[in-house]
Amino acid sequence: MWTDGYITADWGTTNRRAWRVEGGRVSAEFADDLGFTSVSPGGFPDEVANIRRRLGDVPLLLAGMVGARGGWVDAPYLPCPLDLDRLVAGLVATPDPRAFIIPGASYQDGSRADVMRGEETQFFGAVAAGLCAPDAIICHPGTHNKWALLEGGRLTRFRTVMTGEMYNLLKNGSLLRAWLETEAAPGEHFAAGVAQGWEGRALTADLFTVRARVLLGTLPEYQVASFVSGLLIGADLRTGLSDLPQGEVVVMGRGALTRLFSAALTQVGRQNREVDGEDAFLAGAQAITERLS
């Protein structure tokens, strides 16, 4: 069923991307902002059908929030440690006999609990394609940033930090929102924010000082986005790295975000390199379909 081409989609919380793959190569694709939170209740069947209308009547391999509670079909979380073979064995059937959902991953340790959907496909794809080693520390920036540990090609544990969502909340509904319209970029003010966030003080207090500094003339309005981004990312790094081993960090995802996290990691003394999340996801989808063919 899969050898003649397929569609794979990464359905995130805020965005959706879909690709048609034929002969191992992408022949068509689209991206939009119809993430999980933008689909109306009961609207997933229509939106899945719309993917086929746009990319063709071929089998579907779906990852991400389409399998979450309230999505199209509930795809259970598979507990860590998790490998690619067990992920493939856990594929969830849908009302469409030619459409399957990749399950998510979960991690529990005492009172600590964590879940992910979609990133696991990128992680295993990166290993399958040689984009990262089977033993790797991965930072995956996004709405909900993931810090993951791979050991022997298995996902053994991970932690989520709501950095992207926090930034969006500040941008859309906080007293800082008027100053967060510009794009954050590495530089002096971003680095100052990283350093302050890395110190580990209360973010709720540090964020209010941003407004005070603007009003008192010590922080330019056009640099607020970069400073706040650095502040949140610095705090993110402090949390994410706290229980991970030393070594190179693979920063995986979209370039605009991986550049910021890479700059912050370099600043705090951690060797790192960037991997394109789209390449990793497509490699993951290909590795899964090869096991199904």
Decide if 196 contacts 187 (C-beta within 8 A). no
Strands (E) located in the chain: 6-11, 16-22, 25-32, 60-64, 77-79, 92-93, 99-101, 104-109, 112-116, 136-140, 145-151, 154-161, 249-253, 272-276
- How far is it, in rounded angstroms, from Cα 39 to Cα 4? 30
pLDDT in tens, 123-135: 999 999 999 999 9
Mean pLDDT, rounded, for 202-231: 97
Domain ranges, ordered by start, for the chain: 6-132+277-292, 161-275
Helix axes 203-215, 188-198, angle to 10 degrees: 150
Q: Above 80 in pLDDT, residue 107?
A: yes
Q: Above 80 in pLDDT, residue 293?
A: no
- Fold classified for 6-132+277-292: Nucleotidyltransferase; domain 5 (3.30.420)
**161-275: CATH, from 3.30.420.310, 3.40.190.10, 3.40.50.360, 3.30.1330.90:** 3.30.420.310
pLDDT in tens, 130-158: 999 999 999 999 999 999 999 999 999 99
Residue 263: predicted pLDDT:
98
pTM for the structure as a whole: 0.94
Residue 3: predicted pLDDT:
86
Q: Above 80 in pLDDT, residue 100?
A: yes
Decide if 151 contacts 135 (C-beta within 8 A). yes
In sign, the C-alpha dihedral spanning 96, 100, 104, 105 is: positive
